[in-house]
Structure 1
Amino acid sequence: MTTTAVDLCEVEPGVLQVTMQDRRSKNSFSAELVDGLINAFSEIQAHRTGKVVVLTGFGNYFSSGGTQDGLLAIHEGRSRFTDLNLYSLALECEVPVIAAMQGHGIGGGFVLGLYADFVILGRESLYTANFMRYGFTPGMGATMILPRKLGLGLGQEMLLNGGNYRGAELAVRGVPFRVLPRGEVLPQALQLARELAQKPAVSLKALKAHLVRPLREALPQAIEQELAMHEMTFHRAEVKQRVSDLFGA
Structure 2
Amino acid sequence: MTSLFKPKQFQYLEIEETEGGKIISLFLHNPESRNAMTWKMGEEFSQAIEIIRKSKTPPRVVILSGRNAVFCAGGDLNLLRSFSEKTYSQNKRDMRKFYSFFLSVRKLPCPIIAAVNGHAIGAGLSLAFACDLRIFAKEGKFSFNFVRLGIHPGMGSSYLAPELLGKALGVRLLVTGETFGGAEALQWGLASEVHPKENVYEKAYQYAVSLVEAAPLALQELKKNLYDERALDQALKKEAKSQAKNFLSEDFRETLTSVREKRNPIFLGR
Q: TM-score, normalised by structure 1?
A: 0.91
Mapped pair 1:70 → 2:84: no
Distance 1:6 1:247 in 2: 28
- The equivalent position to 1:86 in structure 2, one of 98, 101, 104, is 101
Distance 1:68 1:59, change over 3 A: closer
Output aligned runs, 1:132-147, within 5 Å.
132-147=147-162
**Is the Cα contact below 8 Å between 2:29 and 2:68 reproduced in 1?**
no
Distance 1:198 1:28, change over 3 A: same
SS at 1:61 equivalent: coil
Counterpart in the other structure of 2:194: 179
- Which moved further from structure 2: 109-118 or 39-48? 39-48
Output aligned runs, 1:211-230, within 5 Å.
211-212=226-227, 214=228, 216-230=229-243
Counterpart in the other structure of 1:16: 24
Counterpart in the other structure of 1:99: 114
Distance 1:209 1:72, change over 3 A: same
Shift of 1:58: 1.5
5+ long unaligned stretches in structure 2:
263-270
Distance 2:261 2:43 in 1: 26
Output aligned runs, 1:1-249, within 5 Å.
1=5, 2=8, 3-13=10-20, 14-47=22-55, 48-76=57-85, 77=87, 78-79=90-91, 80-84=94-98, 85-173=100-188, 175=190, 177-212=192-227, 214=228, 216-246=229-259, 249=262
RMSD after superposition: 1.9
**Is the Cα contact below 8 Å between 2:28 and 2:35 reproduced in 1?**
yes
SS at 2:31 equivalent: coil
5+ long unaligned stretches in structure 1:
none
SS at 1:24 equivalent: helix
**Is the Cα contact below 8 Å between 1:87 and 1:111 reproduced in 2?**
no
**Is the Cα contact below 8 Å between 1:104 and 1:125 reproduced in 2?**
yes
Distance 1:244 1:7 in 2: 34
Distance 1:220 1:31 in 2: 20
Alignment coverage as a number of residue pairs: 247
SS at 1:99 equivalent: strand
Distance 2:191 2:30 in 1: 29
Shift of 1:89: 1.7
SS at 1:54 equivalent: strand
CA displacement, residues 132-189 of structure 1 (integer Å, 9 cap, x when unaligned): 0111111111100011112322211111111222222333455453222212211111
Q: TM-score, normalised by structure 2?
A: 0.84
AA aligned to 2:101 is L
- Which moved further from structure 2: 142-151 or 82-91? 82-91
Q: Which has the larger radius of gyration?
A: 2
**Is the Cα contact below 8 Å between 2:27 and 2:64 reproduced in 1?**
yes
Distance 2:256 2:165 in 1: 27
